[in-house]
Every structure is written in C-alpha cells, then in structure tokens.
Amino acid sequence: MLKQELDTPALLVDLERVERNIAEMAAFFRGHGVGWRPHTKGQKVPEIAHMEIEAGALGITCAKLGEAEVMAEAGIRDILIANQVVGRQKAERLAALLDRADVVVAVDSIENGEELSAAAHARGKRLRVIVEVDNGMQRAGVAPGDPAVELARNLSALPGLRFCGVMAWEAHCLGRPMDERRCCCEEAVGTLVATARQCRAAGLDAGIVSCGGTGTFMITAGIEGVTEIQAGGGIFSDVLYESWGVEHPFALTVMSTVTSRPTPRRIITDAGRKAMSMDIATPRAIGLDHVAKVALSAEHGVVNLSEPDTSLRVGDKLEWIVGYGDTTVFLHDEMVATRGDRVEKVWPVLARGKIK
C-alpha cells in the first residue's frame, strides 16, 4: 500500500534514507579507526540494530536493562548498558542476561559494583563493567583521574566482575557554535582518555574508551585514545540534530490526517503529543508553506499559517519531520518502513516501555 493510505497517526522510517545514514556513519567511524556502538534508546527496533551491525557496528548501546533484554532476545550479543543497573532484582536479571549476551555495564560506585558482582558470581559468571566518568556533564559518573582509577581497582578485585574500560557523555558541549563545541569536547573527552591511560599505568585493563553522541561524534571520533562512539540518533536525524549541525537526510517522520479546517489559516491534525514530542524541538510539517506556529495538545496537532491556504482539506494527509526521535519513537507500537511512497515492512517497537 502507499504510505498515504495508512491509518494515522503512523510512525514512518524511510528505508533508503536510513540505509544511507547507517552506511555513512559506519564508514565515517571506520575511516577514523574507532568502533561504532550505536545507542538504541531512540531506535528500540531490533531489526534496525541488526542493520547497523551488518554495516559494521561492533555492538549496540542501551539505556536500560529492559532494552538490553529485548535486543539480546533478538540475537544481539555485544551490548553496553550505558547506565547504572541498581537493585537486587535488576542485578539478578542482568546476571541472567549473561546466558544470552556479552554485556558490559556502567558503574560509578563500589556499592553497585558489589551488588552486581554478587549476582554474577552466584551464577558462575563474570560481568564486564566500565567506570562512568563525569567529564563535565554533572549527571552520573565518578570524578576523572584518581577517583576513577581507585574505583576501577576496587571493581577489578571483585570475583564476579571484569573491569574493561571507561565511558562518559559530553552532552554539556552541545548547543554551542562548532568551534566552541570542539574545544569543549576535546577538553571533556581528554579527561576521559587521560583517565584510561592512568588506569593502564596502574595495571588495569582499560581497553574500552566509550563516548560520543550524534551531536558530537564528528569531533570525538577524531580524538586520539577514543575506542568507540555511541552515536545512534543520526541514523534517523531530526529537527534537533539539524540544529546541532548534523546534515543527514531526515529518515523518521509521522504521518497524520487533517481532521479539521476551522479557518483558512488553521489546520488541525490527529497527531498531538501522544504521537509526536516537542519537548526539545518542534516537529516540522513537510511541504507546507507559511507556517507561523505549531502547537501540540494531547490528541491534536495545530498549525497556524501566516497566510490563508485552503489546499489541505479534511481527510488529507500531512507528514511531519519529527522534532526529536528519542522522545517520539517510544510513543508508537509499530514503525512502518517505506521505500519511496510504498510500505515495505512493519516493525513492532519491541523495546517500547522497557524503562526498568
């Protein structure tokens, strides 16, 4: 069927564009001699993860244990959980996941390390861990340098763990002009790389140095000492990433239906906040001129025009470039993969709702 014939709201991915974006990102990282471990927190579809691995990704990154379980069930083996997994129940689930996948998880406290070690050791397993370093973002993470090395040393002594490196996320460098962003990234990632060197000097195996998102990978991939980049959202691109200088073609859209035309300057669609997010960036209507303002309520998308336009009528379709993919994909049960204007596949968004 044609994508214009779909019931709406519908989340769409353009296969030609996403395949191109995946290929270009994989080639970029190969050219810089670093591994690619794309983050799937904004993708949530195992078929897309397999496409990335087939293109050369060494594995994937997940934000939550539940996402990792979904990806492992789909046959993905090398998985980084770039987050702390805390609590007895989660520690036991993580240890059980080692039966199906080679997981590495971020740790920033010895208490969490001891909990994870006990769960893995009880199953006769050793869990790979990396120390999360706060390199300026001021979210999770231990301070770089001596505190990180000390934590790595203590983790290495635990029977159920295998220390294997460090990670950080330089998100505080985003939203700046490129020259300033570059300086910020070089400083932030420099502290991460220096911490890894300090770990090795202490006899610790810090083989992984992981960082880099879609808004910074063009810089961090070229910093000596980085071994892998986590950027994942760039395979879709969106309005937010465009504002950060990412020039990938937009592959992720939402199809909506015009449900009301109260005036020649106002268009109402059936895609509101439950179908698209505008928490960070506003979705952009495709092929619609003179847009003065877009507003979303729970169930309605409202377009106010600066000039009268009656070309769109009730029942017509209006397609949107998503504002931010990470907070749009998880709103949908399925993702419709199109090639040209035709539907080719329908993928269930299997990692939707996996927040535990």
Asked if 59 and 53 count as a contact pair (C-beta separation under 8 A), the reply is yes
Write the Ramachandran bin of 237: left for phi over 0, alpha for psi from -120 to 50, otherwise beta: left
Name the pLDDT band for 178 (thresholds 50, 70, 90): very high
Percent of the chain with pLDDT over 90: 100
* pLDDT score at 342: 98
What are 139-150's pLDDT values in tens digits?
Answer: 999 999 999 999
Residue range(s) in the chain whose domain bears CATH number 2.40.37.20: 3-10+247-348
**β partners of residue 188:** none
As annotated, the residues of the chain forming the CATH 3.20.20.10 domain(s) are: 15-235
Report pLDDT digits (tens) over 5-51: 999 999 999 999 999 999 999 999 999 999 999 999 999 999 999 99
Beta strands in 228-283 (DSSP E): 228-229, 252-263, 266-269
Query: Measured between alpha carbons, how far is 19 from 236 in angstroms, rounded to an integer?
Result: 10
> Which band of pLDDT confidence, cut at 50, 70 and 90, is reported for residue 170?
very high
Supply the pLDDT for residue 311: 96
The tokens describing 1, both together, are: 């069927």
- For residues 235-259, give the mean pLDDT: 97
Average pLDDT, the chain: 98
User: 15-235, what's its fold?
Assistant: TIM Barrel (3.20.20)
One CATH from 3.40.50.720, 2.40.37.20, 2.30.110.10, 3.50.50.60 for 3-10+247-348: 2.40.37.20
- Mean predicted confidence (pLDDT) in 219-247: 97
Model pLDDT, residue 242: 96
Average pLDDT over residues 160-167: 98
Structure confidence at residue 201 (pLDDT): 98
Band the pLDDT of 310: cuts 50, 70, 90.
very high
pLDDT the model gives residue 312: 97
Q: What pLDDT shows up at residue 283? A: 98
* pLDDT for the residue numbered 134: 98
Name the token pair of 152: 């790595």
Q: What is the pLDDT of residue 349?
A: 98
3-state secondary structure of 26: helix
What is the C-alpha end-to-end distance of the chain, expressed in Å?
Answer: 37
**What number of other Cβ atoms are within 10 A of residue 25's Cβ?**
25
pLDDT in tens, 85-111: 999 999 999 999 999 999 999 999 999
